[in-house]
């Protein structure tokens, strides 16, 4: 996958976690001719033309006068876009993997069926030796609402619908290229929420979605709805979610993402009888696919060609 064009670039990788380190090691193997640095240093900063990272703290981009590309090693680029000093001229890309939607669909289906078919009750019965049949509910009478029906959300919607559930979607802007029943914009949100027996958040984290799911929104959802968040923690006001569950307006939640990660041991989410915590593991782009895309985008950057999975900086996705 390497290209002679890669020799023109010096890449800065901020090794903030093992997640980034695995991609750093793969990039070194796949593009040995590429200059990769892991920290800022006098005499090197002017050479850096690309960032390959998950988080970009404010104060770094301003020290890279020749930066042209900031590429996320993950499916979301909010960790890069949050840098207030990232120049408007720098292009931003996210990682994408054809199997990402399938992995996310598996996670969402797992959480829905766990609740819908009463798995926690069955496990308690197993532990106590209690033979008691549960009624089998009718999926066609259960509505799953998905917030965010993009490339990944569309795959999730099809998987859930294939199991007999009614699936509806909500998007911020109107969409016509889907067979899914779509509610669009803020005016349609209350009607969408009032129908949901399960509410699935797959929205990107942007300025307009940060803190969007709060007490006001949760109070609009059909009473007893179960909430699943596999998008970004910052979209949810966590105290409001907890209060809504404790007040039995929501029946519970499966949460894969949080404001602070790793989730602190002091968080009231841990051990809560109506909440399942998973460690941001619903879906991840494959390492090799992410690295191949980055190498290809370096070639495209040099050749003046359109980049793969480039974000609209104004929209944040």
Q: How confident is the model at residue 233 (pLDDT cuts 50, 70, 90)?
A: very high
What secondary structure, in 3-state letters, does the chain show? CCCHHHHHCEEECCCCCHHHHHHHHHHHHHCCCCEEECCCCCCCHHHEEEEEECCCCCCCHHHCCCCCEEEECCCCCHHHHCCCCCCCCCEEECCCCCCHHHHHHHHHHHHHHHHHCCHHHHHHHHHHCCCCCCCCCCHHHCEEEEECCCHHHHHHHHHHHCCCCEEEEEECCCCCCCCCEEEEHHHHHHHHHCCCCEEEECCCCCCCCCCCECHHHHCCCCCCEEEEECCCHHHECHHHHHHHHHCCCEEEEEECCCCCCCCCCCCCCCCCCCEEECCCCCCCCCHHHHHHHHHHHHHHHHHCCCCCCECCCCCCC
Q: Do domains 4-97+285-303 and 100-277 have the same CATH topology?
A: yes
**Whether the predicted pLDDT of 172 surpasses 90:** no
| Torsions phi, psi for 71 (to 5 deg) | -110, 130
Where are the chain's structural domains? 4-97+285-303, 100-277
Q: How confident is the model at residue 3 (pLDDT cuts 50, 70, 90)?
A: very low
Give 216's contacts (C-beta < 8 A, 6+ positions apart). Answer: none
Q: What fold, for 4-97+285-303?
A: Rossmann fold (3.40.50)
| Distance separating alpha carbons of residues 301 and 71, to the nearest angstrom | 12
| Distance separating alpha carbons of residues 196 and 178, to the nearest angstrom | 19
Residue-level pLDDT at 230: 98
Query: Is 117 annotated in the active site?
Result: no
CATH of 100-277, one of 3.40.50.720, 3.20.10.10, 3.20.20.370, 3.40.980.10: 3.40.50.720
Query: Is 280 annotated in the active site?
Result: yes
Between strands 275-277 and 225-229, the pairing is: unpaired
Residue-level pLDDT at 8: 76
pLDDT 10s digits, 273-304: 999 999 999 998 899 999 999 999 999 999 99
More confident residue, 148 or 316: 148
**Average confidence (pLDDT) over 72-85:** 93
pLDDT 10s digits, 103-147: 999 999 999 999 999 999 999 999 999 999 999 999 999 999 999
What does pTM read for this prediction?
Answer: 0.89
**Whether the predicted pLDDT of 4 surpasses 60:** no
**Whether the predicted pLDDT of 7 surpasses 50:** no
Q: How confident is the model at residue 177 (pLDDT cuts 50, 70, 90)?
A: low
Q: Which tokens hold the place of 88?
A: 């408007």
**Of 9, 172, 232, 300, which residue is the catalytic one?**
232
**Of 9, 23, 94, 280, which residue is the catalytic one?**
280
Please choose, from the candidates 72, 14, 21, 68, the residue with its C-alpha nearest in 3D space to the C-alpha of residue 38: 14
Residue-level pLDDT at 176: 61
Q: How confident is the model at residue 213 (pLDDT cuts 50, 70, 90)?
A: very high
Q: Is the peptide bond before 262 cis (omega within 30 degrees of 0)?
A: yes
pLDDT, the chain, mean: 93
Cα distances (Å, whole numbers) of residue 182 to 145, 154, 233, 287, 310: 10, 11, 24, 33, 25
pLDDT 10s digits, 22-61: 999 999 999 999 999 999 988 789 999 999 999 999 999 9
Q: Which tokens hold the place of 135?
A: 């009624």
């Amino acid at each position: 996958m390497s290209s002679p064009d890669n020799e023109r670039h010096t890449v800065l990788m901020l090794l903030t976690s093992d997640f980034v380190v695995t991609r750093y090691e793969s990039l070194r193997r796949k593009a040995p001719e590429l200059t990769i640095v892991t920290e800022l240093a006098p005499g090197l900063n002017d050479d850096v033309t690309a960032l390959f990272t998950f988080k970009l703290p404010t104060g770094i981009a301003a020290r890279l006068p020749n930066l042209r590309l900031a590429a996320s090693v993950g499916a979301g680029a909010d960790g890069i876009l949050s840098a207030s000093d990232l120049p408007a001229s720098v292009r931003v890309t996210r990682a994408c993997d054809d199997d990402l939607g399938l992995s996310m669909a598996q996670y969402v289906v797992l959480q829905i069926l766990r609740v819908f078919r009463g798995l926690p009750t069955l496990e308690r019965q197993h532990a106590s030796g209690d033979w008691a049949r549960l009624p089998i509910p009718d999926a066609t009478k259960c509505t799953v609402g998905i917030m965010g029906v993009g490339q990944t959300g569309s795959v999730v919607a099809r998987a859930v619908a294939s199991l007999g559930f009614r699936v509806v979607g909500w998007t911020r802007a109107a969409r016509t290229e889907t067979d899914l029943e779509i509610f669009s914009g803020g005016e349609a949100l209350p009607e969408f929420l009032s129908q949901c027996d399960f509410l699935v958040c797959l929205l990107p984290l942007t300025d307009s979605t940060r803190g969007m799911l709060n007490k006001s929104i949760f109070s609009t959802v059909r009473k007893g709805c179960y909430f699943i968040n596999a998008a970004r923690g910052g979209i949810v006001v966590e105290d409001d979610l907890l209060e809504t569950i404790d007040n039995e307006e929501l029946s519970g939640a499966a949460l894969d993402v949080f404001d602070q990660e790793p989730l602190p041991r002091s968080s009231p989410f841990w051990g809560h009888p109506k909440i399942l915590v998973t460690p941001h593991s619903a879906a991840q782009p494959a390492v090799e696919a992410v690295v191949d895309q980055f190498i290809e985008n370096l070639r495209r950057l040099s050749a003046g060609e359109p980049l793969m999975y480039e974000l609209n900086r104004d929209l944040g996705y």
